[in-house]
Amino acid sequence: MSIFFRFISGIYLKSFFIILIALTFFFVGIDLLLNFKDLPNSANLVFLYVLFLACTALSYIMPISLVFALIICLINMIRSNELVSFYALSLSRNLVILYPFLWAVFFCCVFIGLNFTPFAYANDYKSNILNNAVLSTQSSSIFVKYDDKFIYIESLEPLQNEVKNIKIFSIDKLNLNQIQQALKARFKDDIWLLENANELTTPSELKLYGEGLKIENFNELETLEGFKPKIIESVASKSNYTIIDAWQSFKAFQTQGVNTSRVKTELYKLIFAPLFAPFLMLILYQFFPIIGRFFNLAFISFIFFVVTLGTWGFLFLLTRLSEGGVISAEVGIIAPVLSLAFVAFFILYKKKF
């Protein structure tokens, strides 16, 4: 079996990497032609732009490259009568597709794993270089609510995990209890550290000759535990998430009673969207002929390419509708992938007998 695995895997992987690299160059080339006049006058930034553009392209290209590679692999094996030879050597029909399917699942898992890392920010970096000629932009004039606090931030620097001119208003039953403010704060060890901060505390009861306004100064003041910079940035702008950021933002928004549809869509898209490719491969494989003598292989491959692009386009449309709030993320992202999985394994089971 190891011989069959190496042989089939070699053909499939060669096709996959050729298609992936070709489509990536095509994607990058078209984008550069469209945006060449807007690129910054810096060789370093242009190089970074191309790098981040290629990383962004993977989210679109990688899944369909997996399916295209299977189509080309099977067409070549049918044309050279290798596929029918495998069956003659007692290799089962399901075992032939098992090897490409496992490779597709592996690459999807690798891609999902990359979405746990700053790789997921590639589109943000690309847009910042194109629009502002910098790697990271500052979000300004942010006003958010976290727990029982209202927070104003004049500017946020996400890469440095720092904010400038922050004011925190603590409210209890519509009464202002406390104000914390500082010209600079940094996020460290899951907590914000306000530098050279001052804290104003109002008395719990306003009485004549009673306790007055209390003012304290601190070299360093700890506050807002768990309020991560990425949560602030997601409120201020439509930035991309890593899976960890999306999960933490989802929990934070859910706790605060904020609408979580957008962040939930991003989370599902990062985890489930690429998985349509392996299941589509299982479905298409069942309709390939064993030999090409009685079939027009060029026409068959064309039909399979069109079906692949049509399926990918339909799923992409559903994802966009989910991002716009037209349909729920469960209906637009999870349900189609599960439907493909059900159809794939059902056909696989029926063809077994």
- pLDDT, tens digit, for every residue of 11-36? 999 999 999 999 999 999 999 999 88
When the pLDDT of each residue in the chain is averaged and rounded to a whole number, the result is 85
198 and 228 co-located in one domain? yes
Do 170 and 270 share a domain, yes or no? no
- Let me know whether 111 and 7 are in one domain: yes
Same domain, 110 and 153: no
Name the pairing type of β-strands 175-188 and 149-157. Answer: unpaired
Is the pLDDT assigned to residue 239 strictly greater than 80? Answer: no
Answer yes or no: is 249 within a domain. Answer: no
HSE of 135, CA atoms in CB hemisphere, 13 A: 12
Range of the domain at 312: 2-117+265-352
Alpha helices, DSSP H only, in 324-353? 329, 335-352
Q: Is 254 inside a domain boundary?
A: no
- Answer with the one of 179, 212, 232 that is the final residue of a domain: 232
Name the 3-class secondary structure at 340.
helix
State phi, psi for 291 to the nearest 5 degrees.
Answer: -125, 155
In a domain, 122, yes or no: no
Structure tokens belonging to residue 137: 């932009």
- Residue 271 near residue 246, CB atoms below 8 Å: no
pLDDT tens track for 274-326: 999 999 999 998 888 877 677 788 888 899 999 999 999 999 999 889 888 78
The pLDDT > 90 percentage for the chain reads 30
Shared-domain flag, residues 226 and 316: no
Contact yes or no for 100/109 (Cβ under 8 A):
no
- Predicted pLDDT of residue 126: 87
12 & 110 share domain: yes
For residue 157, what is the enclosing H or E element?
strand 149-157
In a domain, 191, yes or no: yes
Residue 125, domain member (yes or no): no
Ramachandran bin of 178, using left for φ above 0, alpha for ψ from -120 to 50, beta for the remaining angles: beta
